[in-house]
Amino acid sequence: MKTEWLESFIETAKTKSLSKASEQLHMTQPALSKQMRKLEEDLGVTLFIRSATGVELTSAGEILLQEGESILSSVHSLQKKLVSTQEACDLTIGTWQSMAAFYLPYQLASAKDHNRHIDIKTSHHYYDLLEQLESNKIDGALFDDREVQHTYWSKLLFKEDFYLFVNDQHPLAEKENVSFEDFKEEPIVVLPPGCDVRTLVEKAYNRHNLKIPIGNEIEFAQSIMGFISANLGISILPEIFMRHLQSSNIKALPITDFKFKREISLVAKNPDVGKMLYTLFFKTRS
Amino acid sequence: MKTEWLESFIETAKTKSLSKASEQLHMTQPALSKQMRKLEEDLGVTLFIRSATGVELTSAGEILLQEGESILSSVHSLQKKLVSTQEACDLTIGTWQSMAAFYLPYQLASAKDHNRHIDIKTSHHYYDLLEQLESNKIDGALFDDREVQHTYWSKLLFKEDFYLFVNDQHPLAEKENVSFEDFKEEPIVVLPPGCDVRTLVEKAYNRHNLKIPIGNEIEFAQSIMGFISANLGISILPEIFMRHLQSSNIKALPITDFKFKREISLVAKNPDVGKMLYTLFFKTRS
DNA sequence: TATGGGTATAACAAAAGGTTATAGGTGATA
DNA sequence: TATCACCTATAACCTTTTGTTATACCCATA
């Protein structure tokens, strides 16, 4: 049995709805439906009475709701105890500015109860990150390592799509979504070579047999947003940059024929440190 | 986290060896090795110090060994409590004689603490089993249902290889293993059409473009063993029949080019009853 | 220095777990 | 009663996980 099933079950039991619980659990409704059937099969009992209005607990479900929570909590406290056996040391994580600004802080904040001090260092290039890993200046790095030669421990954290970022006065801003055909001629603002976003954007242009029409090359991602905001250019950036544009005049359009995703991994020289970082900060938990 | 990983961990910790534990757990050593790495990754700690002589627990491993057992036992007692909420009813299982003689009793015995009376009925033909399922004369059936049309709930229990069973005076008894080439001409004793063993043996002969050379057709599997024991014939039977031949004069030879396996599934008309049967009697547990 | 017992890794197959798209049931409401 | 919003189930598909076999490599020891 998977403890994740138990977590899903408890959420479902509380909301009395697979669809509502599936949102809370950040998964689709069919996936949760399958999970609960697996749990029922594993336990050999029926947990829910399903209807078109939601689900209701059977008597077995009631018991599981009561006792499952206590089992889960003892599992969680065990996990904490185990991680705390690792000697407490200060940790340093290296990554791009976008991650440092809009992802890492939330991950670190979500992990309470750790007695460690975390530093964040930012870089513009792979080789910075790799060199700092090699020289132990950082304990882990966050970036898309698919195209990078290395032998370190690595664990995929998430994938994200790319969007076309335009000023809302830009002609394309009218559209719901765009394709390469719509903007292939137009110069774009890009990040410097050696960062994963640039690499993937170039790959996408190549895939369409296009040469990437570079307007400006800007190292500091935040200023790209300034460029677009001043309607001085457009850019292709991954989803995380959408967190910049709350109440701004920038629109992010899905690109229908941009087939690549950015895959951010946690990379560490020491596998033990990598696993600990992952468990402490990046493993999603209930 | 999977509770199965915990079970594997505890066995490994106790035997201080991945290979020894993997035997106990009925899996291969690489599989267990992977499982333990998964567990370590999930918990974010290193549990073993691995060496060429075995494994030793780290301090985190010691803690997990202590506390993991209590978590596992509360999970198991919860499962029991849940299953016992199902109203206690008598259950009937239908299957072949070989299963009824050499498999079912051990499975039923391994499941203590159930307050149910179990009946076993045997059949020689699929249609018997199916008809009895349909008419609720049996609650579940054990057989290879891959070639049988049905819409019932079904769950694979195990797979097994076929062997050539010969008297130890038979010329082939000298060999370590045999191939179709060695015995394709020789008449064999077979079970009647409509049982999975017969179907699979016929398929195997067909695969080799051979017609099955039937010597005798015997409905009662036990008497096939009698035939072989009296050196009156040879037969192709699945592994489970090897349990007949303790200290007998029958030898079972692997058939190198017999590519089919028998896959015994638990089949039930009512999925809830099926799951309960599975959990109570057929799910392997630590 | 061969050998046996131990773990790790590679390559592959099967099963599990996720996604989107879609069907079909139920109840509120126009 | 037609329709809509909302619920769960299923199908088709893809990715990841978990198992297998085959093989390499390490180390103690005879």
d(CA A233, CA A124): 21
Residues B116-148 as b/e (b if ≥16 CB within 10 A, e otherwise) read: bebebebbbbbebbbebbeeeebbbbbbbbeeb
Is B27's pLDDT higher than 70? yes
Is residue B239 within 8 Å of residue B164, measured between CB atoms?
Answer: no
Which amino acid, residue A231?
N
Q: Kindly report, residue by residue over B76-102, the tens digit of the pLDDT.
A: 889 888 887 876 678 899 999 888 888
Q: Kindly report, residue by residue over B184-227, the tens digit of the pLDDT.
A: 889 999 998 888 899 889 888 888 888 999 989 988 887 888 88
Q: What is the pLDDT of residue A247?
A: 63
Q: Phi and psi (nearest 5°) for B157?
A: -100, -50
pLDDT along chain A (286 residues), means of 10: 94 93 90 94 90 92 93 90 78 89 82 75 90 88 84 84 92 88 91 90 89 90 87 91 79 87 87 81 66
d(CA B248, CA A31): 53
Q: What is the pLDDT of residue A286?
A: 36
Bases in strand D with any atom closer than 7 Å to a protein CB: 6-12, 16-22, 25-28
Is residue A115 within 8 Å of residue A143, measured between CB atoms?
Answer: no
B281 contact residues in A (CB cutoff 8 A):
none
d(CA B209, CA B203): 10
- CA of B199, C1' of D22: distance in angstroms: 32
* Bridging pattern class, strands A214-217 and A188-190: parallel
B85 and A45: CB-CB below 8 Å? yes
DSSP string, B60-96: HHHHHHHHHHHHHHHHHHHHHHHHHHSPP--EEEEE-
Q: Which of residues 17-36 of A touch strand C (CB under 7 A)?
A: 26-28, 30-31, 34-35
Helical ranges in A92-220 per DSSP H: 97-102, 104-110, 126-134, 180-183, 196-207
